[in-house]
Amino acid sequence: MSHKIISALLIGTLLLASCGTTKPEVVVKDTKKPFLVDTKLAKDFTKDYTIEKSGRLVGTSTIALASQGVGRVTSVAVKEGASVKKWQILVFLSDTTANYDIRLEQARNALRNAEVNIESTKLQLDKTIADTKFALEKTKSDYFSITEDAVKKLEKARRDSAKAIVSSTGSDAQAALEKSELDYTNLQNTNDQTIKNLDATYRLSYNDLKKLMAKMLYQGDKAFGLTDKFRNDTVTNKQYMGVRNSATRTALEQAYTYLVRENTNLEQAASIQIDESSALIEIEKLGTYYPIIRTYILAASDYIENSISSSSFPQSVIDAYTTEYLGYKTELSSIETGYTSFKNTTSSFLSSYKNNEASVAAGLEVQKMNLSTGEFESALGLERIQIGINRDITQAQIAVDSAESNYTNAVANKDITIKKLAVSLADAQLSLEQANKEFAKLSIVSPIDATVTRVSVSVGQEIAAGVPVIEIASRNPEIIFDLDSDAVVLLKVWSTQPVIYDGKTYTGIVVWVSQVANESLLYTARITLSESPKFLGGVATIQLSLKSEYPMFPNEMVRIISEEQGEISIYSGSTITSMSVKIGAVVNRSIQIISPLSSELEIITSDVSNFDEKKNIIEKRKTLE
């Protein structure tokens, strides 16, 4: 049978009446003309962009392969005149400065830790869900058992009542009265003891809450330097924590300040003594602190998630902070569950115990006056049984509701936690990819099939980045072109780029990028083709695919205010607003937007210079699907 019986009767009556005359309504037409705009969400702007370069396709003479890193030559695998294959390692360096090998191992360890962390957390969360589900099923089973037993108990009580009416003696009535008086005394004693225990039980919830809040304040200050006490000790941490989104630091500081203030209020409540009249009020006050602690834990978790790793602040430290705050969240959930159970039990008791005592006392008084009336005695006993049954069912229902809430919270907590851990795992994977790329700088490889024409280094020699190490020659043609300082840092050696020549697209490989600007303040790059066209000497077009550190906006969408400041137009439903943004490099026909933007921000991409708010109404242009 269902544990909740809800009956609802909905009755509605609607009377409509009208009388008198209706005056004609004057309609004034809006004379404003529609102004159509095109929009695009901020999340749809990418960091990828393409620039075109051109150059004459000529036969290759020699290609100088330079070191991409700093280190000591440990191996020279070829000699002058040797034939080499594409991607063959020619020279290998040992890292003496940048610690690429250490960073690679740290990245591998961070990834392994992230993988272990997500698996162990899943097991812990699954156990919590299983435990709360088991508890829910048990409370439901208890509820159904209590309900079924109540029917049987009530039927038995009615039979016993009928028997008592038939046969009742004075001695029996007196014994029943004495038993009732004893039961009433025991009931009063039990209720008095429960009331006396309220303060002790409240003190347990208060102490658990106070210990957790003190732990948050101390750990937060020590880890993040939120007060002068530890601010100088966390200078290194603050260089890397939360730098992906500086707003998380502000949110953390606000949450911490609020936590300090509420901790003062909580300390002032330490001397409060709980009694029957103040119990519910003080228990409710205690419940207001849990959301404050939860807000701080979430702010700290966001701050940690927006951190970046380095050799002095490795990913393993970030993962440790993440795991620590997951533990705090679980601890908060645990003590809040205990608090909720205490509050519900206390509320149920205080709302019913006086009525129970009054009912028993009234029955006792009537029983004294009617010792010889077996019918009244049996009716009174039946009423008491009914009261006890109702109390048991109500308490069982409260237990079911609490267990359902705990189970729902456990499932929701798993979903949120796993999503956050997945982000941490993705960050660790990206860090490993970057470490592998950095470590690859220690190897000088041949980008094409070629012949070694010159070896400029020997084993044991220390070389710097950009120093020519080896020269190779090939029959494959090449193109030499220039880049500005913004594009050159984004073009990677050994990357493949499409080259259009004589109407056909070829695969080109970037084999060299100058580290020093020429007299025109431009940087020279060389790209070779994987196959040779029939004729050389013509002009080829290179379509360079590059990735910026920040989203790229078309130049015409940004109004330049100063060297580092610009404005973009935002669609706000009924009008157009301007937003100030920090801008970066201008590359080709695009410009970097450095300021962080909300992913759902709707940005106007069309020209709005002719918009007049007095004459126009904003409308988004409909796109054909």
> Do 283 and 202 touch, CB atoms closer than 8 A?
yes
With CA atoms as reference, report the closest residue to 103 among 276, 306, 263, 310: 310
CB 527 within 8 A of CB 483: no
In contact, 459 and 76? CB cutoff 8 Å: yes
pLDDT of residue 174: 72
Summarize pLDDT for 93-134 with one digit per residue, the tens.
888 777 788 888 889 999 999 999 999 998 989 999 999 999
**Tokens for 567?**
């404005």
Residue 255 has pLDDT above 90, yes or no: yes
Q: What is the DSSP letter of 312?
A: S
Band of residue 372 on the pLDDT scale cut at 50, 70, 90: low
pLDDT of 298 > 90? The answer is yes
Q: What does the pLDDT look like over 159-201, one tens digit per residue?
A: 877 766 555 555 666 777 788 888 889 888 998 888 888 888 8
**622 compared with 625, residue with greater pLDDT:** 622
Quick one: pLDDT at residue 566? 93
Q: Tell me the per-residue pLDDT of 49-106, one tens digit each, with 9 for 90 and over.
A: 788 889 888 766 678 888 888 889 999 999 888 888 888 999 988 887 777 888 888 8
| Residue range 461-504, pLDDT digits in tens | 888 888 889 988 776 788 888 988 888 878 888 889 999 998 89
Contact 83/446 with Cβ under 8 angstroms? Answer: no
Check residue 304 and give its pLDDT: 93
**Residue 373: what pLDDT?**
58
For the chain, the average pLDDT equals 84
C-alpha of 350 from chain center: 41
Question: For residue 20, what pLDDT is reported?
Answer: 45
Specify the higher pLDDT residue, 141 or 442.
141
Could you tell me the domains of the chain? Answer: 37-44+553-620 (2.40.420), 53-88+446-544 (2.40.50.100), 102-437 (no CATH)
Are residues 47 and 548 in contact, defined by beta-carbon separation less than 8 angstroms? Answer: yes
Q: Are strands 616-620 and 33-37 parallel, antiparallel or unpaired?
A: parallel
Q: What is the pLDDT of residue 370?
A: 65
Asked whether the predicted pLDDT for residue 18 surpasses 60, the reply is: no
Say yes or no to pLDDT of 28 above 60. Answer: no
- pLDDT of 422-457, one tens digit each? 888 888 888 888 888 888 888 898 887 878 889 988
Cα–Cα nearest to 252, from 285, 233, 227: 227
For the stretch 210-238, pLDDT in tens is 999 999 899 888 888 888 788 777 776 77
Read off the pLDDT of residues 308-332 as tens digits, 9 standing for 90 and up. Answer: 999 888 999 899 999 999 999 999 9
Residue 3 has pLDDT above 60, yes or no: no
Q: What is the pLDDT of residue 22?
A: 47
pLDDT in tens, 497-553: 999 998 899 998 888 788 788 888 898 888 988 777 877 778 999 988 888 889 989
pLDDT at 532: 76
pLDDT of 7 > 70? The answer is no
Whether the pLDDT of residue 9 is over 60: the answer is: no
